[in-house]
Amino acid sequence: MLNSQLEILGQGQSYLKSVTPENYTAIIKPNFISCAGAHMRHIIDHYLAIMAGVNTGLIDYDVRQRGAGPEQDRLLASVKLNLVAKWIEQLSDEDLKASIWLSTEVCVSTKKVLRVQTSIARELVFAASHAVHHYAMIAQIAFAQKAPLPVSFGLAPATATFLRQPDSQSDIHLNSHPNSHHR
């Protein structure tokens, strides 16, 4: 599980190394209301919420750093992803099984906060899936910017497995080298 987390964070790192500062912060109106940096910052916020929750006993996904450094600075975002990766690398099986409380807003029309018991492993699975979802949105922004990205960027693991099957009947084919195909 930890290796898959690091692989997903590595995809973010690869993107951060390839994107220009201008493309990272550009909002392509009217198709998008936020820049790629906002999506990356949002991904980082979720991982940082899990890390903070380990220390406090409560993961709160509503604590966000909107407009903060990682949203505007791809190098700072890279530093934050490295911090998260180092934290994940030191987790033990016992850490992953640990029970923890989660707090998050669940209603759009009014403020309603739900608290549930969960585990570190469960929330890392969520954070990875959430990251892939936002990578897919970043991929759409990059596509609009005509910036090349690996075909596998923003693909869910199950979708990647499907595309690797010889009989998938998809025009998208993955091979062993993730940078060999571009959008």
What pLDDT was estimated at residue 169?
Answer: 66
What pLDDT was estimated at residue 166?
Answer: 80
By CB neighbour count within 10 A (0-12 exposed, 13-18 middle, 19+ buried), where does 153 fall?
A: buried
What pLDDT was estimated at residue 65?
Answer: 77
Q: For 164-182, how does the pLDDT look when each residue is reduced to its tens digit (9 = 90+)?
A: 888 766 666 555 334 333 3
Assigned CATH class of 2-149: mainly alpha
Instruction: Show Cβ contacts of residue 143 under 8 Å, excluding neighbours closer than 6 positions.
Output: 149, 183
What pLDDT was estimated at residue 174?
Answer: 59
What pLDDT was estimated at residue 178?
Answer: 42
Decide if 86 contacts 12 (C-beta within 8 A).
Answer: no
Instruction: At 183, list the tokens.
Output: 């959008």
What pLDDT was estimated at residue 183?
Answer: 37
Is the pLDDT higher at 24 or at 164?
24
Q: For 98-152, how does the pLDDT look when each residue is reduced to its tens digit (9 = 90+)?
A: 999 999 988 889 999 999 999 999 999 999 999 999 999 999 999 999 999 988 8
What pLDDT was estimated at residue 112?
Answer: 92
Domain spans in the chain, listed from the N-terminal domain onward? 2-149
What is the C-alpha to C-alpha distance for residues 103 and 58, in angstroms, rounded to an integer? 7
What is the C-alpha to C-alpha distance for residues 147 and 24, in angstroms, rounded to an integer? 11
